[in-house]
Amino acid sequence: MSIRKVPTHQTYAELQQAYDHFNNALFDGGLPNCLITLQREKRSMGYFSSQRFVDAQGTYTDEIAMNPAYFAVVPLIETMQTLVHEMCHLWQFHFGKPGRGRYHNEEWASKMEAIGLMPSSTGQPGGARTGQLMADYAIEDGKFVKACADLLTQSFCLTWYDRFSHADAPRSAAERLDISVGGGAPPYIALPALTQALASSATSTSNGAQGDESLPVKPTGNSNRWKYVCPCGTSVWGKPKLKIICGSCESPFTSPDAARLSTNSESA
């Protein structure tokens, strides 16, 4: 008798497993539980909202929202990086003094660095350490990288991915560490079935299938450019049908746009 898959149970159990793992590894198990949700906030991989939910007994809990639009198109380490970034906001709300509004202050920046994530306004070395809109990158040999490697050795994965959300994700310097940590390629490249499903999603939508039109396959205004990605996770945009090789891993870039065209021509 086959076990029935329950996507809701699988998805939220996996996110809770990651939360518990990083809570123990990076915060000494001191963070309270929160409600993890999936939200498609444009141009945001996640956010933290304090005391966002309340139960029938009047007990409050915080929210950490993760954007599923990016799960398929960034390496797993970057999705985990987003989760830990928001966990650091949760830590500051309960044990520190958050900045006003969305401001990421020095206390938050110091905690981020202590757990192995370097705050950066650009997501790259040299960016501002504090500010309104902040990204980060993983510190080589830092606590986060080691904790992420431990999680991935437990056969951890995200089971479900959004077919219609092939978004252009903000990139970070974490991609340099993907191979050493594991799960170096974005899932839509590393998993053949997912590659095919994403490649065919544009065709399904054009044939009348219901998709999320607010999350286009290509960025608006760049219809004459393709996205190219190498196995180490590096991505670039360029003219159609380019043949390029990654300077970091010396592997050829592949393009999901080319895969979509190939699928369309084969089905024509």
CB atoms within 10 A of CB 194: 16
Count of positions (residues) in the chain: 268
CA distances from 170 to 42, 69, 84, 89, 260 (A): 11, 12, 16, 20, 22
3-state secondary structure of 145: helix
pLDDT tens digits, 213-234: 333 333 333 345 677 777 766 7
160-172 as b/e: b if 16+ CB within 10 A: ebbbbbbbbbebb
pLDDT tens digits, 171-223: 556 556 665 666 567 887 778 888 778 766 655 544 444 444 333 333 333 34
pLDDT tens digits, 154-169: 788 899 999 886 556 6
pLDDT tens digits, 129-163: 999 888 999 998 899 999 999 998 878 889 999 98
Predicted confidence at residue 195, as pLDDT, reads 79
Cβ-contact 159, 169 below 8 angstroms: no
246-265 as b/e: b if 16+ CB within 10 A: beeeeeebbbbbbbbbebee
3-state secondary structure of 94: helix
Predicted confidence at residue 42, as pLDDT, reads 80
Cβ-contact 22, 90 below 8 angstroms: no
Predicted confidence at residue 192, as pLDDT, reads 81
The pTM of the full predicted model, rounded to 2 decimals, is: 0.73
Predicted confidence at residue 138, as pLDDT, reads 92
Lowest mean per-residue pLDDT among 63-77, 123-137, 246-260:
246-260
| Domain spans, the chain | 7-152, 173-267
Structure tokens that stand for 46 in this block: 């996640």
